[in-house]
Structure 1
Amino acid sequence: MGIDIGTGSSRAAAFDLGGRLLFSQAEEYPLSYPRLGWAEQDPEVVLAAVIKALKDLTARLAEHGYRPLVVGLSSVFHSVLPLGKDGRPLANCLPWADSRSTQIVNAWKKDPAARAWYARTGCPLHPMYLPGKIAWWHANEPELFARTARFVSLKEYIITRLFGLPWVDYSVVSGSGLLNEEKLTYDDDVLTALGIGPERLSKLVPTKTVLGELSPEWAAATGLPPGVPWVIGAGDGALSSLGTGGVTPGILTAMIGTSGAVRLASPVPRVDPKGRTWCYHLTEDCWLLGGAINNGGIVYRWLRDGFVPDALRSYDALNTAAARVPPGSAGIIFLPFHSGERSPYWNADARGIVFGLGLEHTAAHLARATMEGITYRMYSIFQALEELAGPAREVRASGGFARSALWLKIMADVFGRRVYVPTVPEGSALGAALLALIAVGALPDLKAAAQLVSINAAYEPDPENHTLYQELYALYTNIYFKLQDEFAALARFRERENKESACH
C-alpha cells in the first residue's frame, strides 16, 4: 500500500505484487489564503484525511479478501509547522505555496554567504523552502519561534502522531533547504543563520527505514490488521519518478497536478552552476535533479472556474473545445505565473500574462494557450536538465494532466520527445508502495521496482508542430525576460497594498 500526502488531498492506494492498482481512496482538504502571498493548512485536517482514506481503503481490501503486506509513505515537499513540547501544532502548516518570506529571501540573494547554501543543500534561495519560512517566524512571531520545540513537515507531524517518532527521511529533508547533501547532515551554516540547532529538527533516517507497526488504537482507527509494517518512504516528487519508471538516466519524468515538476535521475547529487534546478534524494544511489513550477493544473482550474461559459465548466468539455484550436492558439501566448515562479529562474515576483489577445479569441483559445504556456515552462526546465545531466530520450507523464490526450500531445510536440503514460496514474503512491517492498525485502532494488511500471499509452511528437512551438517558445522567453523590472515594480505595489489592507 502507498499513502500519498498531497497539497490538496491525501490518497491511499493498494497494489498487487506485480504493481497493478487494486483500489484507491482519496480525501480532499483546502488551502487557506489569509493574506496576499500567504498560504496555510490545518495539519489536523490533513491527518484526519489520511486516516479516512486509509480506513476506506482497508475496508475495500477486506471486502475482496486482500491482506496488506506493507505500507509506504509519500508526502509533499516544502511544508513546515511549529510543534510545541507536547508534540502539538502551535500554528498552521505553511505549504510550498506560501511566499510570505519573499523579502527575507530576496535579501539573502544579495548575501554571498546565503547564496553559497545552494551548492551544499541543492535548494535554490526561494520562499517555498524552509529557511525563509523559519526566518519569517523568527522575525515576525518571535514568541511562537521561541516556544517551538521542533519544526516539522506535514509528513513528520503525521509520523509523530501515529508512531511517536521524531524522524524525517533524507528525501523530504533534501527538499527543505536544511540538508547538506554531501554529508547527509543538517547544514551548520544554514542552521546558524536561522538561530536553531539540530535538536529543534527531526532525526534523519534513510528512506527505506521501517517505522514499525501502528498502536492498537491507531490500527483500529485505520482498519489495518495487526502486524503490518510501515516504511517512512520519501517525498512525492522522488516517488513519482519511481512510480513512473524514471529512476535511470535518460528517462525524464514530467508531472502536472496542482503544480508541476520535471525530473531526471542521477546516481550522485548534482547542482546547476546557473542555479536553475534542485537536487532531491530518493535512495543512497538515486538522486532526482529537477525543477518545479507553482502554476500547473491550478491555473487551468482557475481558468475553468472563473472565465469560461457554463457549457465548458467540465474538464472534458473544455478539453474538447481546446482540441479544436490549432497549435499555437491562434497567436495567444500565456505566461502562467499566477503565484510567482520557481524553476528555472526562481522569481517569486513574476505574475501571469496573456499576450496577443484579440477579439477573435474565445474561451477555447485561452484553454489551449493555458496548456501550452504551462508546458513551455516545463520545457524550460527540461532544457536546463539536459544541459546539466545529458539528453533525455523519452518522457514519462503523471499527474492530472496525464488524463488529457490533448495536453499529452502538446507536451510531445513542445519537447520533441515521445511521451509515455504509465498505466497507474497514482505515481507517488505506487512509488511509495514499491520502495516499501524494497525495504522489507520483497523486491531487490529500484531497477526491479521500475520494471513493474507498465505503459498504457504513448504520444509521438509531430516535427511540424515542434518547429512551430520552438518559434513561439522563443517569443514566450523574450516576453518573460523583458518584464523583469515590471514584475518587481508590481510586487512592490502589491506589498504596499497588502500592508495598507492589514492596517485596516
Structure 2
Amino acid sequence: MILSVFLGIDVGTTAIKLGVIQKNELLYSSELPLQTYGDDQIKYQNGTVLLTILQAGILAIPEKIRQQVTLISFSTAMHSIMPADGRNQLFLWSDLQAAESIEGFKQTDLASHFYEISGTPIHAMSTFAKLLYFQESTSYPKDMHWYGIKELLMEYFTGKPIIDYATASATGLFDLRKKQWSGEILDFLGIKEEQLAELADTNQEYRMLPNRCDLFGFSNNSRVVIGASDGTLAAYASYYSTGRTASLTIGTSAAVRQTTKTIQLDQKKQNFCYYLKNDLLISGAPSNNGGVILAWAANYFAENPAKFYERIPELLAETEVGANGLRFWPYLNGERAPYWNNDLKGGFYDLTLQHTKNDMLRSVIEGVLLNIRQLVELVAKDQELSVSGGFFQTAALGQLAADVFGVKCYYAQQNEPIFGLYYLLEQPKLTIEESQQVFIPDPIKHAAYKQIAQDYFN
C-alpha cells in the first residue's frame, strides 16, 4: 500500500500524539496531554473530553498539510474498557478495582486455561479482570455493551465501533489462535459476543464519515485503517527501524518485547503474547515502574525538577556505580512482571547517614533499570535491544541501560507507535538508520552491575 500523506494518532494513557508522515519523513507532530480521573483504585479517562482534545489537535495541524492527508490510523493503549452507558468512562489498565476479584480467580484451574487461550496475563490490568469485577459487583446491567479506546475512535471517524485483533488480543477475551472472541471465556463471564465490538484485522480499511472529512479538511476519499495497540506497534517500529527483534520501551511504564512468528507463553512467567498481523506476534513482559518513578524522584529530591533529565549526565558522572551501596526498590506502583503483585511496595534499602541526595537519585535510576533487567532476562536474554520512550531522552540513560543489561542498545527516533503504524501499512524499504545511536556496554561497569543484580531485590 503506497500512502500519500499519512496521519497517525496514538492515544496513550497520559497523552495523544499526532504524527503526519510522508515518504518516511515526519512532516508534523504534536503531543496533547490527557487527564486521568479517579482515585487510588479507580482510574479512567473521559471519552468525551478525549475526543474534544483530539479534534482540536487535528484542527491545529496546518491546513495545507491536512488537505493532503489521504489515510489515518490509530495506535491505542491496551486493556481499556468503557461501559456504553452514556458517561463515556474509559477505565484504563492502571484501574485496580478488579484486584481482589482477579486474585480469587487466580486460584482456580480456569486461570491458567484462559491465559493459554488469550495470551493475556491474569492480572487486574486486563479487560477480562475488570469485567469479572463488574459482573460480580453487579455494577452495570447484564446486557451492557462494552467498548474501549479503539472502538471510541473508530465510531467517531467511521460510525462503527470496531476493535482490531491486536487490541482485542490484550483484553483477555480473545482466542489468540482462532482470532475471534472466545466463547468459553465470554460464557464464564455471562457476556454475549453481541455485547462486544466487531473484530477486524489490523490492516482493515474503512471509509471516513463525510462530515469528518469536511470538519478536518481531509479529502472526501480519505480512508481509515483500524491499526493496532501501542505496545505491539512500538515493538514493530523498533524491529523495522533497527533490525532487532527484541525491544525495550520505557515511558511512564515499561515493557520488554520480542517480535516472533510463534505463540510464546509461559505459565510461570506469565509473559504476554499479542497479535500484530497475520505472520507476527509480540511476546513480552510489562512493568508498572518506568519514567513515573523518575518523575516522582525529580519532584521530591531534585533541586530543579524541570531540569532533572538535563542534569542526569552530570549526576551519573559525580556518583559511583551502585550508589555507595544504596538500593532502591521501584515498586511504588505495585508491579506486574515478574511479580504480578499489586500490593508490592518500594523504598530505599541500606540507607545510612553517609548517603547523599545524589546517591538517592542515582539509586532510583539504577533500581528502575535493575528491575527491568529481570524482564530482559525473561524475554530477551543476551540479545541486543532496540530502546525507545521518553526515558531515553538523554543519551546517558541509554548508556547506563547498556551497562546494566550488558548488551548493545540501539536508539532511533522512529521507535514509536506512530511509525509502527506507518511501517505496518506502507512496508517501506528501509535502510537501518545511520543516525541511530548505539550504546555499547562498558565491560567493567557491566561486571559491577552483574554482581549487584545478584541480590539487589533480596
- CA–CA separation in structure 2 for the residues paired with 1:240 and 1:31: 22
- CA–CA separation in structure 1 for the residues paired with 2:48 and 2:22: 31
Secondary structure at the counterpart of residue 41 of structure 1 = strand
- CA–CA separation in structure 2 for the residues paired with 1:383 and 1:255: 15
> Which whole-Å deviations, capped at 9, do the CAs of 1:212-237 have from their partners, x for residues lacking one?
22x23222333433322111110011
TM-score, normalised to structure 1, is 0.84
Alignment of 1:97-246 (within 5 A): 97-142=94-139, 144-146=140-142, 148=144, 150-213=145-208, 215-245=209-239
1:463 equivalent in alignment to 2:443: yes
1:44 equivalent in alignment to 2:41: no
1:419 equivalent in alignment to 2:409: yes
> Which whole-Å deviations, capped at 9, do the CAs of 1:57-80 have from their partners, x for residues lacking one?
253625xxx822422211111111
Letter in 1 for 2:122: L
Structure 1 contact 297–401 (Cα < 8 Å) conserved: yes
Structure 2 contact 150–162 (Cα < 8 Å) conserved: no
Aligned length: 451
- CA–CA separation in structure 1 for the residues paired with 2:271 and 2:166: 16
Structure 2 contact 299–305 (Cα < 8 Å) conserved: no
2:392 pairs with 377, 381, 402, which one? 402
Secondary structure at the counterpart of residue 360 of structure 2 = helix
Which residue is equivalent to 1:75? 76
Letter in 2 for 1:92: Q
Structure 1 contact 4–10 (Cα < 8 Å) conserved: yes
Structure 2 contact 79–93 (Cα < 8 Å) conserved: yes
Change (3 A) 1:326 1:470: same
Change (3 A) 1:249 1:429: closer
Shift of 1:203: 1.2
Structure 1: where are the runs of 5+ without partners?
Answer: 479-504
Which residue is equivalent to 1:434? 423
Q: Give percent identity, aligned residues only.
A: 25
Letter in 2 for 1:146: K
1:314 equivalent in alignment to 2:307: yes
- CA–CA separation in structure 2 for the residues paired with 1:169 and 1:428: 15
Which residue is equivalent to 2:19? 13
- CA–CA separation in structure 2 for the residues paired with 1:330 and 1:199: 59
- CA–CA separation in structure 2 for the residues paired with 1:156 and 1:410: 39
Change (3 A) 1:246 1:364: farther
Structure 2 contact 48–88 (Cα < 8 Å) conserved: no
- CA–CA separation in structure 2 for the residues paired with 1:463 and 1:60: 51
Letter in 1 for 2:94: A
Secondary structure at the counterpart of residue 89 of structure 2 = coil
Which residue is equivalent to 2:36? 31
Which residue is equivalent to 1:55? 59
- CA–CA separation in structure 1 for the residues paired with 2:424 and 2:305: 40
Change (3 A) 1:364 1:211: farther
- CA–CA separation in structure 2 for the residues paired with 1:110 and 1:454: 51
- CA–CA separation in structure 2 for the residues paired with 1:113 and 1:94: 24
Change (3 A) 1:222 1:453: farther
Shift of 1:248: 9.7
- CA–CA separation in structure 2 for the residues paired with 1:334 and 1:91: 39
Structure 2 contact 323–363 (Cα < 8 Å) conserved: yes
> Which whole-Å deviations, capped at 9, do the CAs of 1:117-171 have from their partners, x for residues lacking one?
11111111100001111122222243x24362x2111111111122111311000
Shift of 1:189: 2.3
Which residue is equivalent to 2:361? 367
> Which whole-Å deviations, capped at 9, do the CAs of 1:318-340 have from their partners, x for residues lacking one?
42443222221222221111121
Change (3 A) 1:174 1:452: farther
- CA–CA separation in structure 2 for the residues paired with 1:5 and 1:308: 30
Change (3 A) 1:38 1:421: same
Alignment of 1:334-353 (within 5 A): 334-353=328-347
- CA–CA separation in structure 2 for the residues paired with 1:335 and 1:60: 50
Change (3 A) 1:240 1:90: same
- CA–CA separation in structure 1 for the residues paired with 2:165 and 2:73: 15
- CA–CA separation in structure 1 for the residues paired with 2:420 and 2:162: 20
> Which whole-Å deviations, capped at 9, do the CAs of 1:222-268 have from their partners, x for residues lacking one?
34333221111100111112222359995311111111111111112
CA RMSD of aligned residues (A): 2.2
Structure 1 contact 12–57 (Cα < 8 Å) conserved: no
> Which whole-Å deviations, capped at 9, do the CAs of 1:408-448 have from their partners, x for residues lacking one?
111101111111111336x101111222325xxxx5xxxx4
- CA–CA separation in structure 1 for the residues paired with 2:431 and 2:64: 27
> Which whole-Å deviations, capped at 9, do the CAs of 1:364-418 have from their partners, x for residues lacking one?
322222222111222111111146xxx52x2111110121212111110111111
Letter in 1 for 2:49: V
Change (3 A) 1:38 1:455: farther
Alignment of 1:250-399 (within 5 A): 251-309=245-303, 311-323=304-316, 324-386=318-380, 392=383, 394-399=384-389
- CA–CA separation in structure 2 for the residues paired with 1:430 and 1:420: 16
> Which whole-Å deviations, capped at 9, do the CAs of 1:157-212 have from their partners, x for residues lacking one?
11112211131100001111111111111122221221101111111111000122
TM-score, normalised to structure 2, is 0.92
Deviates more, 1:337-346 or 1:351-360: 351-360
Secondary structure at the counterpart of residue 231 of structure 1 = strand
- CA–CA separation in structure 1 for the residues paired with 2:169 and 2:243: 20
Deviates more, 1:159-168 or 1:251-260: 159-168
Which residue is equivalent to 2:454? 474
Letter in 1 for 2:125: M
- CA–CA separation in structure 2 for the residues paired with 1:290 and 1:156: 25
1:2 pairs with 8, 27, 51, which one? 8
Shift of 1:99: 1.1
